[in-house]
Amino acid sequence: MPKIHSKQISKELSLLRVDDDEVRYFEALWEIENGITYNSYLLTGEDEVILVDGWKREYADDFSEALKDLIDIRDITHVIVHHMEPDHSGSLAKILKENGFRAEVLGHPLVRGMMKAFYGIDVKFRAVKDGERLSLGGLHLEFFHTPWLHWPETIMTYLRGHGILFSGDAFGGFSIPPAIFDDDDEVVSSYLPFVREYISTIIGSYRQHIPRNVKKLMDQRLEIRMIAPAHGLIWRKNPERIIEYYLKIADGIPEEGKVLVIYASMYGSCEEAGNIVAEELKKQGKRVITYGFTDVRWASINKIIGDAVDSESLIIIAPTYENAVFPTISHVADLIARKIPPNKPILVLSSHGWAGVAGKKLAERFRSANFSVIDVVEFKGKPDEDVKKRILESVSKLLSQSSTN
């Protein structure tokens, strides 16, 4: 059963958070063993009740019950929609029906059509302009369009006077933190790797919009005392920390010495090449993280993407399979090419039985995404002494070109 948190944060503000420990593959793609939270907020003004985002559809009944413990749903006067992805909007149709569609929905102009298309509902809608200010029941709201964090319709709301930024997906992360706020440094430290995984997998393809939108907010000279995202921890002790972390990951700034070895191996040849590389890198003082796809275990693809983003270099190893790249690595390579900043040199190794093509194809894929592929070693069967020598030479070439070397 998912845990539900209903917490009054201040006189005007309550958090409604559900800890989704049932999801297995977020967006039907990302295997998130540690779950995720959906954070909704309730703002109560003098005569106004403003609902800020919702939960996903599977928790619509729980959401309705949690809201009823705080207010009469018919009293909701406004619903601010920061993002239409159904992990947040999926429960809103039920709430709006229970509300008798009295509430005015506030959002980016695209929201009205999405509401109709996703849920078949016509809502009382008010499009908010970028930079628009609106005072409701003594609450002074300011809306900012922040496109592509994570969809084109994403906005943020700043509650002037209180210094609260409702940021939607941005500044959120995967996992179910054991706290509501960022007060405890240990909680924050163990949460940040899940934020890194979230940024690189979910927002990775739109990463250039992170610094662009952060600059836009900074140019407003907002006094941000609290960041209230739609996933994960609320930042009140140190909101700058999550902003800086987002900027660092968006740029793919490497952790010094961190190198990723990713391989698939049906019968052990590529695994052997992976072991040779990992051993050599460790000898050279690198912190090596290895992910393998074999006949007894499969790596987590979102962990690979999360670790690739701040590695200083990558080694990708795959067999040739039916005259192409082995499927799992083909998938991983495609995700890396789309979602990871190309500021890391890549070494490609590949084994084949009769005619190798995987190495060349992988190199082409990465080069087309502006990665520097420093070497490709194609070999037949298991790496023999000669191949081993070539692999070690290419590793030293890779190290001489790593960004923090």
Ligand X SMILES: Cc1cc2nc3c(=O)[nH]c(=O)nc-3n(C[C@H](O)[C@H](O)[C@H](O)COP(=O)(O)O)c2cc1C
**Rule CB under 5 A: which residues touch Fe ion?**
85, 87, 150, 169
Q: Is 179 in contact with 191 (CB distance < 8 Å)?
A: no
Binding mask 95-134 for ligand X (x = CB under 6 A): ----------------------------------------
Q: Could you give the CA distance from residue 89 to residue 92 in angstroms, rounded to a whole number?
A: 5
- Which helix (DSSP H) or strand (DSSP E) does residue 359 occupy? helix 358-368
Say whether residue 362 binds ligand X (CB under 6 A).
Answer: no
Cβ 21 to ligand X, closest distance in Å?
A: 36
Cβ 86 to Fe ion, closest distance in Å?
A: 9
Binders of ligand X in range 241-270 (CB under 6 A): 265-270
Cβ 261 to ligand X, closest distance in Å?
A: 14
For residue 378, the partner it binds in ligand X, Fe ion, none, with Cβ less than 5 to 8 A by kind, is: none
For residue 326, what are its two tokens?
């082995």
3-state secondary structure of 271: helix
Please select the residue that binds ligand X; options are 223, 298, 353, 393, rule is CB under 6 A: 353
Nearer to Fe ion, 19 or 85 (CB): 85
Nearer to ligand X, 81 or 387 (CB): 387
Question: Which amino acid would we find at residue 365?
Answer: R
* Residue that is written with structure tokens 């191996």 in the block: 265
CB atoms within 10 A of CB 11: 8
375 - beta bridge partners?
347
Burial class (CB in 10 A: 0-12, 13-18, 19+), 193: middle
Binding mask 271-300 for ligand X (x = CB under 6 A): x-----------------------------
Q: Is 39 in contact with 231 (CB distance < 8 Å)?
A: yes
Nearer to ligand X, 43 or 318 (CB): 318
Q: Is 208 in contact with 341 (CB distance < 8 Å)?
A: no
Nearer to ligand X, 14 or 351 (CB): 351
**Residues contributing to the site for ligand X (CB under 6 A):** 265-271, 319-323, 351-356, 381
